[in-house]
Structure 1
Amino acid sequence: MASNLKNTLNWQFTKHFLRLSLPLILILVAMLWLLYRTHLDTTLTIMQANEQQSIQLASQTVDAVFGVLHGDALYLAENSSLQQWLNTGDPVIRSHLNADFLAFTRSRRLYDQVRFLNQHGQELVRINWNDGKPEVIAEEQLQSKLDSYYVRKTLALNEQAVFMSPFDLNIEHDVIEQPIKPTIHLSTPVFDSKGQKRGLIVLNYRGQRLLNRLRAIADKKSGDLWFLNKEGYWILGPHPDMEWGFMYPDRQTMRFGHEYGEDTWLSMLKGLQINQWQDEKGLFTYTRITPATAKIASTEPEEYVGNEQWIAVTHIPPSSISASMAGHVRDLIIAFMVLAPLLALLSGIITYHDMRRRQAEADARSSEARYRGLLELAPDGIVITNRNGCITMVNAQAEKWFGYTKDELIGQPIEKLVPERFRATHPAHRQNYLANPVVRPMGAGLELYARRSDGSEFPVEISLSPSETEQGLLVTSIIRDITTRKQAEKIQEQTRMRYEKLVNNLPVGVYRNKPDKIGMFLEVNQAMVDIFEAESTEQLLSHPFSESYCDPVDRETFIDTVMRQGHICDHEVCLKTLQGREFHAALTAVMKKDANGEIFFDGIMQDISERKEAERKVQQLNESLRARSMELETINQELEAFSYSVSHDLRAPLRAIDGFSRTLLNEYADRLDDKGRDRLSRVRAGAQRMANLIDDLLKLSRVTRTELKWKSVDLSLLASEVIEDLRQGEPNRAVQFSVQPGITVQGDVHLLRVVMDNLLGNAWKFTSQRSETRIEVGCKLDDKLTYYVRDNGAGFDMAYANKLFGAFQRLHDASEFSGTGIGLATVQRVIHKHGGRIWAESAVDQGAIFYFTLNEKENK
């Protein structure tokens, strides 16, 4: 009986134990299972949220990149230098266009090539990135791209449309360039100011930069980020050997559909724009991305614009998901095996679950904070508005530019940031955009302005990007303050215009050329075109300078000198124009180097043909003068002999005639009648007159041959001495003399005494019949210092003034006023020897005034 009781108790104990323990164990197992599933779901939720954020960030990155590329293409198409060159064809402007494109390529660092092609597909401007050292490609290396598909398609587009090629690898000579260069061609047609299509801008975007940014996104997460084209080939894939399969024949099967199923690929290609799912191959998240350029140009036929589409995919393999759960499973097993008290076990599980939940929330908040941090650190202002145009978020840069705080802007209409002159029409433009929200720049082709809190305005560029969220449609506006750029463009334009005006207005030729065998001109001004008789600047730029040298050795000498010295000045050479005419030129040049180390010459050129001709004529004249000088020296020697003959041989007979005539008159006067005495007196007077003429001729001859001895002469004192001598000769005459004091000149004192003797002697003579005689000596300053002698004598008729200074020329009868007519001729010779001139002004019975000047610089 006792044994049965014991068995019953054991059974009851066992039953109760089982009844109590089994439910508790089941509860524990259920709780552990619930915790496992909860953690798994939480982990998957976090992974899904992270993957969605990565996909969204990848999509925004692509949109932002192609928004910039689109803006760059349109900016270059409207470049001021390009438009001016299209209108004028000026090669100087073309050089500025090359400089603008080179500066653009260097500053952007986005493009492997920047080109401008004309409407026939011929490259006119090409800038190569050249591994970080951008260079302008020489004109002779430019190619025709008429057969390229993107040329034909771009030229068929309308204004402001942009064509984009597929994302592929750059191929040189039918071989994929190594290392590989992922490339996207963007091109847009170029119209001139008259609306005529003149060519296209082509940008070769260095796609590796985009792929690097996508890889940077992938590096921050546990899964992989893939980038596929619309055929399912990896552009950015699981492994480099699986990428660019459509470019390599041996990788044609390396497609997403081949690896993960064609049905899966078709659902991604044709299904929802953004989707996420999990299957036995892992967690997949994808979005289809249509490049911003294709969206913006969507009004064009697809065959012209390009229908490029990409798919961004993130993938977390099952192993990664299991690895993230392995630690948690191990903890649950250890907890189940170790923790005996069910309550302690449950408390630990609940606490652990709560901590995991809190961690998941913290991770979500951290992810949101990182997103907001990216917005706050953005260099551009970012303003997000809802469908009603109310501001929902702004970043710090927007606060700084607009002068508002976030609290002052959140909830306000976007028109608060629009200048008052545009506010009335802005809501209509906003509604038009919401009717077809796509990623595009705002007001393409227009100058946009924003308004600060103080009412001032500043120029901006705005890019619009719509996105559907749980709160509805949100529009992100990326705003860039371009005040500095506008000012720089204005200053650059002013500087360029001043430079062009200066160079083109110079009277000498300005050039730049290369010191190679051909020596093509790189730049020339209008004076160079005129010097070489070219029909246009283009003709001169295409003409080899080396062919313009009459003697090729001169060019070699010129180049060697500049290369050795670094410069040369006024190097004279003989050149010929494009018309074949030879001329003399003076070349000045300085050796310089460009950014690539290429040597070129900058210089000026002057046509010195007239000067050389003048030098030749001067040389001939000098030779003629030397011959004439020798001839004159011979003549002077003959004159010396003649003077000696006159002085000695001619005077003796005259003295004999005069002496014997006087003797006859003195000793035989009583034997002659009145007529005989008169005839004899006339003979004697003629002999004396002849003697006086000989004396005057000798004086004139001596004046001509006398060598000047320059020194300072007191002309006032000289005149006073002559006047005193005249008074002593006729002390009974009452003459009023006036001599200006302090007249000092530079000259020969003896010859100047001859001048004053003759001028004052004439004044004394021709005033002899005046009851009141006035003679004045002075000077005055007109164009130069002029000296004069004035009298109130008989004067003369100005009609005969041309005979006044001729030898033996007299304007009065000898019976009225004595003289030989040599005095004024002598005065003129003296004045001419002093480098001056003499002239007179007079009227009959109104006196006369004689003016003369002296070139007093001769002795200095």
Structure 2
Amino acid sequence: MLKRFFITSLLFMLPVFAIGTAIYYGEIQNERTILEIQAVERLKGQNEQIVNEFTYIVSDLMFLAQQHELQVFFDSDTKQQREILATEYRLFAAQKKLYDQIRFLDETGMEIARANFNAGNPSIAPAEKLQNKGKRYYFRDALVLERGEIFVSPFDLNMEKGQIECPLKPMIRFGTPVFDRTGQKRGIVLLNYLGTRLLKKLDERAVNASSDSMLLNAKGFWLKGTAPADEWGFMYPDGGNKTFGNSFPEEWQQIIKAESGQFYTSKGLFTFITLYPLLEGQKSSTGAQHAFSPSLAKLGTQEYYWKIVSHVPPSTLQAKSHQTLSNIAIPFMALVLLILVISAFLTRARIIHVNAEAALRESEERFKAIVAAIPIPMAITRLSDQAFLYANEHYGQCFNIPPEQLVGYTSQTFYNQEDKLRLLEEFQKYGYVHNFELQAKQVGGKLFWVMVSMRPMTFNGEPAMIGVAYDITERKLAEEKIQQQHEFLQHVIDSLDHPFYVINTNNYQIGVANAATRALGMRPGVTCHALTHKRSEPCTGTNDPCPLKQVKNTKKPFIVEHIHFDIKGNPRNVEVHGFPITDRAGNVTQMIEYSLDITERKRAEKQLHLQNEELQAQNEQLDAFAHQLEELQQEKLYQLNKAYERFVPREFLGLLDKQSILDVQLGDQVEKEITILFSDIRGFTHISEKMTPQDNFKFINTYLGLMEPIIHQHHGFIDKYIGDAIMALFPTNADDAVSGAIAMLKKLRQFNNKIVQQAEQPAIQIGIGLNTGLLMLGTVGGQNRMDGTVISDAVNLASRVEGLTKTYGTSLLITEPTYQKLIEPSQYNIRVIDRVTVRGKTEPVTIYDVFDAEPPITIELKSTTLHDFEQGFRCFHNEQFEEAQGFFEKVLEINHNDKAAQVYLENCRTVLNMTMPEKPRILIVDDLPLNATVLSNFLNTKHFEVFVAKEGVTALEMVKSKYPHLILLDVMMPGIDGFETCRRLKADVKTQDIPVIFITALSETVNKIKGFELGAVDYITKPFQREEVLSRIKTHLSVHHLQQQVQAKNVELEIHNLQLKERIKTLTMQTKFV
């Protein structure tokens, strides 16, 4: 017993020692993992701190750049205004405590106003101490920027009079150009940020850390290191070797090749991250080592970066290892003592186990006696090699061998290798075998079928299997005969040409299918729904009857037309014949169906029907046209007979290749690609009503006399005068037409300037439309009168495009065909403006706005907003209405009079206002957190999206970014109160339609009246009931939505009315052409 105790103890001790060693190294690894995670999280926090600090500084800079006092100074450059500006800077420096200097430098680099922080005692620099910084790199680099762009200098030390200031003063300069009200650049605003604050914040993040934190610039110089003497080496002539790369050359090579990372070397654990402090629109440069040297290069957001590095030295890592070893030593010794106790217990348990085995052998002998008495073939095999350990008499009879002779045989003797492997595979997969069918071989070679079931057991102390085997040979022979009969029946139905199949009425599954059915992809087991409509539900509906239901209800054969699909998914018309199959009780259990393809017959019937309808419609159109033509011919024949001459333009004769008007014959014609110009005086009807007939003719002839020479100068000719309208043709190229139209508009503007000064007659405003296409030019008429004309859809489109100039407030529109024919479209000022569909056409035509003839300021504004306008146009026609609205609002912020942008913005709002939002946005403005929290939590549970602002200024900013559907507004708040906030909301065209509900403790009637006068839709007094607030919110959201729908419908009707007017005008012109 003592020997077994020592053996057992040794067996337990060995793995314990191995586990203890693994735990020790595991704990060391855990400690290192914690150090690694802490280092990464600390670097992330330092990175976020620096980015937030830069954002804060940029916000201050942009505030100063847009300061009202600065604009006043630009308007009146006086000593008093300079003092006011400097005072603002001093107060700003005292409040922020971030900036060593705040100053404004004019375009020459001269300091106009400067405030110095003076170590916490801000002061204004007197005029005699203001300096010219025109040669400093930060002034040059900031002055060249555009509006809204920001220059950020390298992080370096401040210099005074060409020398590094002592004590050292780390500095980052932020500058941006400033502009006066006319858009002229007047200088820069410059902030000298005290970098010591940033470095202190990095130190605060590293308090109690096991690592050293370092901040490096892109070249590896220390901005903050472990030794102050090594910092800012790039600022000193002899400091070029004081870099991280010189101290840690191997580690520096890994750091500069990646954005972030973590690694171990012989010098400890290094963790690093790359920080890109510049935001979008910010610029920097390399700076200059000498005071008046220019920057070596400009840097973008990806080129201006720092490296934040965390370093854990080897000594710290070793101290962690020693601490870990001391922590696990005592528990390990206690575990050894416990193992000795357990070993003694197990030794005693082993002796008990030996005695139990003897009892088990006796039990197995009793088990054999029981198995022998069972009248079922049963045997026990060893699990490892499938050798028989025991078999009863019935098992031996089944395999034609005495059971005692089976012992020593393996199951492979009676089963083929493939079936045996499948049997064992199932046993290993499930842990048992149930009713497994396979072929077996008796002793003597006779084959027969058996069904085997097996379960695991322990026999004589080793794993075994007990199994039973039933002879199922007779059943398998019966199944084979049934299969032969089924194959014969399948062969018979496969000989049928049409799909033939049997459907189960309970589950709609196909039971039997012939070859024609299988060719449709339908096999036994598939539901019949897939055959009829490629779906998973039964057929329903008047035109979609379910044959199976009809047979079950009537129990009679039927014929019905249906839609089936072929193997490619093409629909086919079929005539379905169904016959019921009933059981002995007379219930329909199955249905036989076969289908005849009648697709071609149905197609022919449909085609014949369509042809009859088309022929009838054509006859009606011909009758109507003949009647209209007869009336029109009678009227025009009378007018033409009264004409005393035939007039054909000279250019018209040239296109027809005629020398004289006498050579022109009725019916002469030619087809040619020509650009058509349509122009029309806007509001001519209103103008003419104020003139006498004589003045009317003088007015029109003056205008036409100006336009005609310009058209001829650009190789075009006038085809027709239609009252105040002109139709001209340009047969040479599209550039002639566009240049001519621009010249017409410019000439007309000069003319208008003259007549307005002389007050002779009203100014003339016209719209011009251009389109290019194939035209038929020729003569039409009768024996007494003929005329030259052009016939084409291109003419109608040009006329329609001219009508759109009034809709979009522009003077010249061209179509896509004209745009494509321009030799160099980039020489013109062009923007896309619409897509229109011509009557009778399916594809829309793109329309472009050519604005070269507009006033210079309009050209500049449209060019500036061109990108945003075209982005909005693209989003609008892609039905991205919210994005389109944003682009058109940006356009109108710059160009307030852009009527096209106004039209599209109105259409966007019309579409967006047609639907009630699923989760309305609510803005709560209240300086008491308790009130805001109660309302916010309650409304969030009622499917609202809630935002909270603590005072009015913040609320006005949030409205611009969140655009809430309703505002709950308190009155008594710090800063601007609720009444002033509401007034500003209603004064802004973008926010004036947002419903405002005052919710305040001011219950006096005078306050309620004031709230309603300012534009609020409701007024709730505190303390409030949440359900009441919810009810009023829902009511006013519904009312507001209904108002928006009414407004949208009014806009839609106005646009439709304008389109109808333009269509009437076009039809009138077409009638005149004929």
Q: Shared fold by TM > 0.5?
A: no
Larger gyration radius, structure 1 or structure 2: 1
